[in-house]
Structure 1
Amino acid sequence: MNTRPDSHEYLPLAEPYVSLVPEGSITEILQQQHDETLKSLSDLTEEQANYKYAEGKWSLKQVVGHIADVERLWNYRILYIARGDAREFSGYDREIFVRNSPFGSLPLREALKDYAAVRQSSITLMGSLTEEALLREGTFNNYPLSARAAAYVIAGHELHHLNILRDKYLT
């Protein structure tokens, strides 16, 4: 699918993510992000991967794990919506997720391996969906959510965090 979601397909809080995604096929965008992320982060040292730019902030490895975990959640929503089992989806507490994840203690290569596996699953899922399935909607935090918009949130969420990684971690 090569068309952006309309603003009525997602909650207003998702707009900063959706607006970061360039024009084009969402499946191709997800693949390109995968390749660029792995290229950018694969050669980092463990010291760089454990870096936190301020007290109370996540390490670079934890950010990578957060991206993967959030993508898993959005894929769950996409699958339900695309299969026609629309329902009300709730949010989650990112701090609890990061605190209870293994990413801070894993080697960077393992965190990137997890990220890559999740992203490949996203690409496969998005590539299998029909136009009709992508336009189906569920409800997220009392707002409509299309499967298409959820895919754009995945891509935009990663872009958001990659921008932070470039600005705060990789300078």
Structure 2
Amino acid sequence: MIDKIRYPIGQFNMSEDVGVEEIKDLITQIENLPHKLANSVGDLSIEQLDSSYREGGWTIRQVVHHIADTYINLHIRIRLAITEDKPTIKLFNQELWAELPDAQTLPVGISLNLIESLNIRLVTLIKSLSHSELNRQFRHPEAGDLNLKKAIGLYAWHGNHHLAHILNFRKSIGL
């Protein structure tokens, strides 16, 4: 049962290839995330934002700030892969980042605005990529070489994954 709570849409399959035909749908998923995310938290109280979506999990506030952190990283990783030859990306300790004071205390609107603004640049950039650019890679220190198609798939999954956490939390409190 914990896996369904922890991974409500299942785990991302890193071995599955992302086809060019899937990219449009993935871009749409990324493009729609800011609106869906804002709608999912817009009516939550401070107490609800500071509640965990599962036992031992982050608060809803931390999840929203985490999504902003990952959007920033995705934007940088794509730009690096386009402009450098298979750069090794820098990882970030998402657990420690979620414990930083800004992730625990700032209003979610700050990250929602950041996500919405960055999303415009991110989606514009992704939509402009040629077939050969979509095959460009970056080196992930833990996962190995990832092409941009797979990275787009991963981040579309990631946004939907955390959105599902929030939506499941809403259901659990009767919203």
Q: Which interval holds the TM-score relative to the shorter structure?
A: 0.7 to 0.9
Partner of 2:147: 146
Equivalent residues in 2 for 1:8-157 (5 A)? 14-15=12-13, 23=22, 25=24, 26-53=26-53, 56-100=56-100, 102-141=102-141, 143-157=144-158
Cα shift at 1:85: 3.3
TM-score normalised according to structure 2 size: 0.74
Contact kept in structure 2, 1:77 and 1:150, CA below 8 Å: no
The 10-residue stretch of structure 1 (148-157 or 97-106) with the greater mean CA deviation from structure 2: 97-106
Cα shift at 1:54: 5.5
Cα shift at 1:102: 0.7
Distance in 1 between residues matched to 2:148 and 2:82, nearest whole Å = 6
The code of the aligned residue for 2:91 comes to: G
Distance in 2 between residues matched to 1:31 and 1:153, nearest whole Å = 14
Distance in 1 between residues matched to 2:53 and 2:63, nearest whole Å = 12
Instruction: Describe the superposition over 1:115-136 as per-residue Cα deviations: whole angstroms up to 9, x where unpaired.
Output: 2223223212212322221111
Cα shift at 1:153: 1.3
Cα shift at 1:56: 4.6
The code of the aligned residue for 1:154 comes to: Y
Unaligned runs of 5+ in 2: 1-10
Distance in 1 between residues matched to 2:79 and 2:31, nearest whole Å = 19
1:53 and 1:31, CA in 2 relative to 1: closer, same or farther beyond 3 A? Answer: closer
Distance in 2 between residues matched to 1:37 and 1:15, nearest whole Å = 23
Percent identity between the two aligned chains: 24
Cα shift at 1:151: 1.6
The root-mean-square deviation of aligned C-alpha atoms, in Å, is 2.5
1:54 and 1:14, CA in 2 relative to 1: closer, same or farther beyond 3 A? Answer: closer
Distance in 2 between residues matched to 1:118 and 1:103, nearest whole Å = 18
Partner of 1:8: none
Distance in 1 between residues matched to 2:111 and 2:170, nearest whole Å = 16
> How many residues get paired?
155
Contact kept in structure 2, 1:46 and 1:108, CA below 8 Å: no
Contact kept in structure 2, 1:65 and 1:115, CA below 8 Å: no
Partner of 1:7: none
TM-score normalised according to structure 1 size: 0.76
